Structure 1
């Protein structure tokens, strides 16, 4: 590894489950302090008790404007700085466009895109002042491919892809690295909304991977020397052949 994560302070959204939880465990193992952001207060309390004092719970509802805006200021009252912001929280809509509804579309776009932009907006002044930091966003293979079986979700991840790559360029003069990890299908609650037939085929063919595989990719990205940015890492189950 080029850089140690020992002593770093990380913020992870969607930290109570899936990729966020796996990345929390990875960072704690590497000696980092992790502010675990999630809306599920009960789960956060249980996990903080399990992990110890280096796991700091932060209850935030990213879909609530006031709660979202308060996230970074509240975190900076609990820790003195933020080295890493991992915008991981998201939701999923699969199937044809006509199979969803406007309310679900609004919720997904607000969480997958708007909340990410707001979180980054709030942390950029802090990291710019310190002239260092890492911002990572969970994108998706769907952000690189016109995934016709999930057009709403794919559109949100294409937007994330654009946002990350434009912000990466903006933050170069400030010493802040901005990057994304783009997983294929991961075993998590997000797949509960997958079309049943697609999910069945993926499970039978071994075309799903564990959240820890994505956490390993994030570990690699964060431990590169500051002179190197892994701008995007695509991580796929070997047997996934739909793209």
Structure 2
């Protein structure tokens, strides 16, 4: 099934790799113009090569002052309003809580929660007067299940899942849709920090999904009739519960 995003302007954070890049690639191939946001300039340049409508934007969202410039910077690169925003950038901290580095906890909670809230706030202020727009947030299966090997990460996703559901009830009157996609384990760089025994177990049992499969779900969410909101898609490998 093909989905069209012709004449749409989109922006995606954490777009140089993983789900962010898969989402960007899917939107580009569906006809959208996409601003790809990441702090990794070299990776952005590499993935944007060959796509006329791929526009790189280098921003470190963990820099508070740089984060404030996101919406203005996006609009400077586009002809027209922003139609789609995918808040995807995130960090991972796994393992036992007592072994977690406090600074790593701060960075992860800041990026996974605070940055998402601030970015979405600014996007809503831009979209609301236009009476249309779509916001997608990358959440996690960890937002729906108390995963014992990742209490810090899971807590960040529980928080952001609440944020999406409560914000949705505020913005639908403006014609805006906001929803989240909550994948189980996806083959991305975030898994580099998984406990090795859990990663080996997941690979052996076929309990991982590809980022491009999540991107296909995001396209489905974005192309529903305006009167329909897909508020949260929970997706996992069939073998995940083995």
**TM-score interval for Structure 1 and Structure 2 normalised by the shorter chain:** over 0.9
Distance 1:204 1:146 in 2: 23
Match of 2:178, SS state, is strand
Distance 1:49 1:201 in 2: 36
Residues 2 and 225 in structure 1, CA contact (< 8 A), matched pair in contact too: no
Residues 3 and 220 in structure 2, CA contact (< 8 A), matched pair in contact too: no
Residues 141 and 184 in structure 1, CA contact (< 8 A), matched pair in contact too: yes
Distance 2:2 2:17 in 1: 28
Matched, 1:65 2:53: no
Corresponding residue of 2:165? 165
Could you list the per-position Cα deviations for residues 129-185 of structure 1 after superposition, in whole angstroms to 9, with x for gaps in the alignment? 101000110000000111111000000000000000001000011000010000000
Q: CA deviation at 1:71?
A: 1.0
Corresponding residue of 2:54? 55
Q: CA deviation at 1:2?
A: 11
Q: How does 1:227-238 map to 2 (within 5 A)?
A: 227-238=227-238
Corresponding residue of 1:240? 240
**Which stretches in structure 2 are left out of the alignment for 5+ residues?**
none
**Which stretches in structure 1 are left out of the alignment for 5+ residues?**
none
Q: CA RMSD in A?
A: 1.3
Distance change >3 Å, CA 43–CA 2, structure 1 → 2: closer
Q: TM-score, normalised by structure 1?
A: 0.97
Distance 2:219 2:29 in 1: 11
Q: TM-score, normalised by structure 2?
A: 0.97
Residues 3 and 219 in structure 2, CA contact (< 8 A), matched pair in contact too: no
Divergent runs of 4+, >4 A: none
